[in-house]
Amino acid sequence: MNPELGHFALALALPVALVQSIIPLIGAYRRDAALMAVAGPAALAQMLLIGAAFAALTQAFIASDFSVVNVYQNSHTSKPLLYKISGVWGNHEGSLLLWVSILAVFGAAVAAFGAGLPDRLKARALAVQGLIGAGFLAFILFTSNPFLRIDPAPVQGMGLNPLLQDPGLAFHPPMLYLGYVGFSMAFSFAVAALLEGRVDAAWARWVRPWTLAAWSFLTVGIGLGSWWAYYELGWGGWWFWDPVENASFIPWLTGTALLHSAIVVEKREALKSWTILLAIITFSLSLLGTFLVRSGILTSVHAFAADPTRGVFVLMLLALAVGGSLTLYAIRAPKLEPGGLFAPVSRESGLLINNLFLTTAAATVLLGTLYPLIAEALELGKLSVGAPYFNTVFIPLMVPLVLLMGIGPMMAWKRSDLAGILGRLKGALAAVAIVFAIALALSGIAVVDIAGSAGIALATWLFSSSLIEWAGRVRLFKGAPSDVWRRIRSLPRASHGMTVAHMGMAILIVGVSGSSAWKQENILTMAAGENVTVAGFEITFNGAELIQGPNYESLQGSFSAKRGGSSVALTPERRVYDQPVQQTTEAAIHTTFWADLYVVLGDGPTDDRRYVVRAYFEPFVPFLWYGILMMGFGGLISLSDRRHRIGAPRRAAAVAEPAKA
Amino acid sequence: MDDIQEKRSPRRWTAILPVVIVALLVGAFAKRLMDVEGGQDPQQVQSVLLDTPVPDIDLPPLPDRGAGLTTADLKRDVSLVNVWGSWCVACLSEHPLLMDVAEQNDIPLHGIAWRDEPSASVRWLARNGDPYDLIGQDPVSEAAIAFGVTGAPETFVVDADGIIRYKHIGPITPDAWSNTIAPLVEQLRQ
Amino acid sequence: MKPTGIICGLLFASLLAIAAHAVEPDEMLEDPALEERARVISQDLRCVVCQNETIDESNATLAQDMRRLVRQRILAGDSNEAVLAYMVDRYGDFVLLRPRFTSQTLLLWVGPFLLLVGGAFAAARYIKRPVVTDLSDLSDEELVEVNVLMKETDGSDSQ
């Protein structure tokens, strides 16, 4: 592949995308099967063309073809292969190409596996996908072409920002985009349903797998970003409420709400117009995230290419996609058949309250993120809104939600019995009391100790009630082992997935509360041979030496940390990359199951050969990553439920319906 | 479409609400983008110190350069205070204009050498010319923070009573000088 | 030391002179209680030359100087609020990461609450209002009567 072919394939993908959107729309309107049938092959063609363009750019990066401006600006021959490849999306143009590539893959998946979908719904959904693709292709081709050449070609490239040369960050963007773009499927189906004027249980079943997949990827993507910040930024923070972080977190919150409201559509044929709205909003917020990162409109540590011209283009795309779909919503939603009303105590009411808190939380984070902008537009002056604000308003919204998460899964549809559920949860309440008491006894009674212990007690509530709910389903401890095993196997995967994801959330809460409350730090200067004690670890500094990496030089400190009998070696580094010249800090992290010991080598040596050393004890931080992985894994388990197989015919789904309590 | 069941349309206005909110947001974004393109950096902070007395400062001089800079020096006449550093690239681009200003006018132009090695400041002035009447060293941002400085260069217009009347962020362009700062100085002098 | 090592050493010297690294040992106060206060205050102050970073976590030199100033003010006997006010006097509300509750920030602070209440009212439209909430107060005869009435209504509905 050469870059011109890549460019040509990309240019050809634009008219194909337009064909994919316009012809099937006309076909669906006229009920012309032949016109509608264009959508599938067009989607496949689009995937092949964009795939070819992506392959061409990747090839240029691997081969270090510096005649391509994008490669020249973002790569270097001395980079390891992994970072040559991740360099493809480590820049504005390439990341957009990745974005449309994923979009094309998703579209092709619908075309290939969507045989069970009604023709018109499928044609319209693919048409909407085509429109989104056309918008982004135009954006790439007219403002952000990755295939531009320079002549003569430079002999060496400018290199990739060393902060991006990192395994966590190499896979962060693809995961995030799989999430964002996955939500585009829910969006396309929502718009198709509005055009159709019809939303039913089957619609919800088709949308759910895409939403689940997107949600799982976004969960892991956000987790990877957080993990990277934790080990790379050098002081052990893992969440900053930075605008760009918020931009990925807000669609996660509404996407989580969407996952739950779609269940109500599926089971009760209610909350239809709300679910459609959530599907539109979730993808719109993903687009907003893309816009905020690239426009320079909000200030952020992560801001990409702050370029107003591109900002104008993305804003226009945003206005068209969001404005158009919401206008359609305003016209069509009131005509959707309303569902029945809910009993106050019922599964559907529980999910409704879940949606209330999740969307309020999402709106709150959005409000805080955009408030400086709003204040300025209203001439209220320059303001900053940072972590202290978000922590103050976000946590009170999450506590009731988590309390409800313990009860909700036990509630029956239509009418449930709260007293009975609480009776079954006596064990969970007892566990909460015991864990809270133990946590207080171990930590103390300062305000942070009480807050941290309360967080862990809350997590205990969620974990144990999820366990009790699952145990009740499979009659654990009640039936014969073979009966239990049979029940475990016949319980729908979606139920297992929910339990795993909810337990993952509980573990995440342990990580959040524990690390916020009981982090310990010791910042000091050390000379070789000196000791410092942090949280029972005796840390000895053995000295520092210069070492040579593949494309950096490093000052590597050598520490040994001893607790009890065993000793571990820790080697934090300060690196200076050569292309471009930039310094990074590589913390040394020793992970036990419960906690991390986190050591950073700071300034030095001074004249008397002393170095600044930062040693942190980070309790429960590993639980953040366990929890996030469990949540993502829970999503995937749920995705493997046979009812969610793409295009599974309706009847098969009905057969798989479990006998619900 | 025949599938749509024509029912009472419940609360049509709630269905319109989302698109209205989005329209307002897009408007706000568009305004902001135009501001950014028009040169208004979202980072720029308007000083809250406008029309307040200059803060109390008593900065030491650079080597071989007589007196430093104190608050009293700013209360004698209408004056300009320029915050600069030898490490600051934008200051270098602004410098020729400051040289012209010093040559063609009798407005006192004072400098605050912000977070700079004294020897580096002296060398920089020797190489690029020295337009300043008085210079104070500000090694730990004492004066910079007191003046609410967020970056170099920044230039303050101070009236004869020592009241801050204007703050220019970034290098002074010829346009900013002739259209804004020079007329303001003239006006304050009357 | 190899030549590359020397070059690297020089690079470190020049780069590290610029790149301070969040809170440094030499900035810290002797008294742990006062130092703890300084940390708390620093986490509410924005590094004004940075993008959404607190001065506590920022590497910028101005952030370092602001951290020093915070500690000076504490040693001079200022309360936490007084230190924040000192910064606001110079940089405006922009410097605060937890905006004060003023008419400018009314919407910011009250907004989440309004959204929750408004959302709750919207959600309540989906909830059925129970006609009889508590049947236990009724006598047996009354319960029989209720059952008969409910059957009748059910019957009339289906016609």
For chain B, give every domain's residue range: 10-38, 58-189
Among A56, A55, A32, A184, smallest CA distance to A123 is for A32
Average confidence (pLDDT) over C130-141? 61
* Cis before A580 (ω within 30): yes
Q: Residue A553's closest CA among C58, C24, C18, C3?
A: C3
Among candidates B3, B9, B42 on the partner chain, residue whose Cβ is nearest the Cβ of A196: B3
H/E stretch holding C139 reads none
Q: Record the tokens describing residue A246, joined without a space.
A: 């918020």
- Higher-confidence position of A164 and A595: A595
Q: Which residues contact C72 (CB under 8 A, 6 or more apart)?
A: none
**Residue A35 confidence (pLDDT):** 94
Q: State pLDDT tens for residues A450-478.
A: 999 999 999 999 999 999 999 999 888 88
- Beta-bridged to residue A249, according to DSSP, are none
Beta bridge partner(s), residue B158: B79, B164
Give residue-wise pLDDT tens across range C30-39.
898 999 999 9
Which residues 103-122 in chain B show a CB within 8 A of chain C?
115
C97 touches chain B (CB under 8 A): no
Q: How many CB atoms lie within 10 A of CB A379?
A: 7
Of all residues in chain A, the percent with pLDDT exceeding 90 is: 69
Q: How far is CA B64 from CA A161, B67, B118, B119, B120, in A?
A: 43, 9, 11, 11, 13
Cβ distance A413 to A479 under 8 Å?
no
When pLDDT is averaged across residues A173-201 and rounded to a whole number, the result is 93
- Give the dihedral of Cα atoms A390, A394, A220, A257; nearest 10 deg: -130
The rounded distance, in Å, linking the Cα atoms of C57 and A455 is 25
| Single-letter amino acid code for the residue at B125 | L
CB-CB neighbours of C47 under 10 Å: 24
d(CA A11, CA A33): 28
The residues, ordered by sequence, that sit 6+ positions from C98 with a Cβ below 8 Å of its Cβ are A386, A388, A389, A392, C44
CA–CA distance, A400 with A402 (Å, rounded to integer) = 5
CB–CB contact A326 B18 (8 Å): yes
Chain center to CA of A428: 30
Check residue A305 and give its pLDDT: 45
CATH of B58-189, one of 3.40.50.720, 3.50.50.60, 3.30.390.30, 3.40.30.10: 3.40.30.10
What global pTM score does this model have? 0.89
Question: With contact defined as beta carbons under 8 Å apart, do B19 and A327 qualify?
Answer: yes
d(Cα A314, Cα A432) in Å, to the nearest integer?
48
Read out DSSP for A498-525? HHHHHHHHHHHHHHHHHHHHH-EEEEEE
Query: Which SS3 state, helix, strand or coil, does residue C12 take?
Result: helix
Among residues of chain A, what percentage have pLDDT more than 70? 95
Q: How far apart are CA A277 and CA A296, in angstroms?
A: 28
Name the phi and psi angles at B42, rounded to 5: -60, -20
Residue B37 pLDDT: 62
CA torsion, ordered B142, B146, B151, B153, to nearest 10 deg: -90
Inform me whether the pLDDT recorded for A435 exceeds 70: yes
Contact yes or no for B7/A332 (Cβ under 8 A): no
Cβ contacts below 8 Å, chain A against chain C, sum to 151
Strand partners, B53: B163
Kindly compute the dihedral angle of the four CA atoms of residues A637, A642, A645, A649, in this order, to the nearest 10 degrees. -160
Domain boundaries, chain C: 3-96, 130-158
Element (H, E) at A619: strand A611-619
Contact yes or no for A324/B26 (Cβ under 8 A) = no
Q: DSSP of A458-502, one letter per residue?
A: HHHHHHHHHHHHHHHHHTTTTS-HHHHHHHHHHS-HHHHHHHHHH
B45 touches chain C (CB under 8 A): yes
Of residues A353, A357, A385, nearest to C99 (C-beta): A385
Tokens 């593949």, residue? A550
Q: Which of C58, C95, C101, C108 to mutate to test the interface with A (most CBs of A within 10 A)?
A: C108
Characterize C53-74 residue by residue with b for buried, 16 or more Cβ atoms within 10 angstroms of its Cβ, and e for exposed. Answer: bbbbbbbbbbbbbbbbbbbbbb
Q: How confident is the model at residue C146 (pLDDT cuts 50, 70, 90)?
A: low
Contact A608, A628 (CB under 8 A): no
Rounded to whole angstroms, how far apart are CA atoms A92 and A314?
A: 13
In the three-class reduction of DSSP (H, G, I as helix; E, B as strand; rest coil), residue C102 is classed as coil
Residue of C51, C94, C122 with shortest CB distance to B45: C94
Confidence of residue C68 (pLDDT cuts 50, 70, 90): very high
Secondary structure class of A149 (helix, strand, coil):
strand
ipTM reported for the complex, 2 dp: 0.87
Which chains neighbour C (Cβ–Cβ under 8 Å, 3 or more pairs)? Answer: A, B
CA A396 to CA A403: how far, in whole Å?
11
Least CA distance to C52: which residue of chain B?
B43
Q: Is the Cβ–Cβ distance between A495 and A475 less than 8 Å? A: no
CA distance B20 to A241: 27
Q: Which residues of chain B have pLDDT under 50?
A: 1-10, 42-43
Between β-strands B79-84 and B109-114, what pairing exists: parallel, antiparallel or unpaired? parallel
Question: For residues A180 and A193, what is the distance between their CA atoms, to the nearest angstrom?
Answer: 20
Residue B9 or A101, more confident: A101
**Best mutation site among A196, A322, A384 for testing chain B: the one with the most B CBs within 10 Å?**
A322
The answer to whether residues A363 and A285 touch, using CB atoms and an 8 Å cutoff, is no
A156 pLDDT exceeds 60? yes
Domain limits, chain A: 1-161, 166-359, 520-622
Contact across the interface for B48 and C92, Cβ inside 8 Å: yes
Per-residue pLDDT at B45: 53
Tell me how long chain C is: 159
pLDDT in tens, A330-385: 999 988 888 888 999 999 999 999 999 999 999 999 999 999 888 877 878 888 99
| Chain B residues with CB within 8 Å of chain A CB | 1, 3-7, 9-12, 15-16, 18-19, 22-23, 25-26, 28-33, 36-37, 42-43, 45-46
Digit-coded pLDDT (tens) for A628-645: 999 999 999 999 987 766
Cross-strand pairs, A547: A554
Task: Tell me the pLDDT of chain A averaged across its residues.
Answer: 90
> Are the CB atoms for A295 and A314 separated by under 8 Å?
yes
CATH match for C3-96 among 3.30.390.50, 3.40.50.300, 3.40.50.1820, 1.10.8.640: 1.10.8.640
Q: What is the pLDDT of residue C59?
A: 82
Distance (Å, rounded) from C-alpha A636 to C-alpha C51? 36
A520-622 is a CATH 2.60.98 domain: yes
- Least trusted range by pLDDT, from A78-92, A107-121, B20-34, C34-48: B20-34
Mean pLDDT of A476-495: 89
> Residue C92: which of B14, B45, B55 has the nearest Cβ?
B45
In this prediction, residue B11 carries a pLDDT of 61
The number of C-beta contacts closer than 8 angstroms across B and C is: 44
CA distance B152 to chain C (A): 10
Task: Report the neighbours of A using a cutoff of 3 or more CB pairs below 8 angstroms.
Answer: B, C
What is the arithmetic mean of pLDDT over A268-290? 92
Closest CA to A591 of A515, A527, A523: A515
Query: Which amino acid, residue A151?
Result: D
Please tell me the predicted confidence (pLDDT) of residue B33.
75
Preceding omega of B153 cis (within 30 degrees of 0)? yes
Q: Assess contact for C55 and C67: CB atoms under 8 A.
A: yes
CB contact under 8 A, C19 and A355: no
Query: What is the distance between the alpha carbons of residues A236 and A228, in angstroms, rounded to a whole number?
Result: 10
Share of chain C above pLDDT 90, in %: 43
